[in-house]
Amino acid sequence: MDLDTSFEFLLEKPSTQDLESFTSSEIMSFLAGVFDAEGTIYLHRKGFGAGFEFSIANGDSHLINLISKWLGALGYHPCVESATQDPFRLGYFSKGMILRVSLFRSSEVCSVLGIISLRHKEKISKRDFVLRSVCGVETRIGKTAIHDWETLILGIRNERNMFVEEARLALQDK
């Protein structure tokens, strides 16, 4: 069996009709996968406290609008924004538009993070931090939680930098 061709089905992009006919279980799995690949959790400082944002960014407007529709159907209040990017940022011409669907309400961020099943280590770490430090608590995020978040983000960056350096050295040794 040729491994390269045995997984070609993973490269196929689902059709609009396929996506729009997903069951609620398939929607949640799809959201988790897209969030693992294209999403992030941001910390926004607000006065003396802070709040978290659940966000998914992608250049496919249909996908972002469909995710927004799904989140709305689940009772959330998604916000869709667009921004321009340098179309040559990847070293070749690509679309210069990026769209982002986000949740800002603390209860909604907690809810969606509590129900999607993630696999990406960085996303799991961020989700667990938010669920542990914020969700179910009605008070604002204090300075200690902000410091702990910044420490988590620094650890993630350091780990990423270490992997990049290991890859660079491995390529250099070839």
Domain ranges of the chain: 15-173
Contacts 24+ apart (CB under 8 A), 41-46: 41/109, 41/113, 41/123, 41/126, 41/127, 41/130, 43/141, 43/146, 43/149, 44/104, 45/146, 46/140
**Spatial separation of the C-alpha atoms in residues 155 and 141, rounded to whole Å:** 20
Average pLDDT by consecutive 10-residue portion of the chain (174 residues)? Answer: 51 74 88 93 81 91 93 95 75 74 94 92 92 68 79 89 85 77
Give strand pairing partners of 133. none
CATH superfamily of 15-173: Homing endonucleases (3.10.28.10)
pLDDT for res 35? 94
Residue 24's Cβ-side half-sphere holds a number of Cα atoms within 13 Å equal to 5
Average pLDDT of the residues of the chain? 83
pLDDT for res 95? 66
**Spatial separation of the C-alpha atoms in residues 105 and 54, rounded to whole Å:** 9
pTM: 0.77
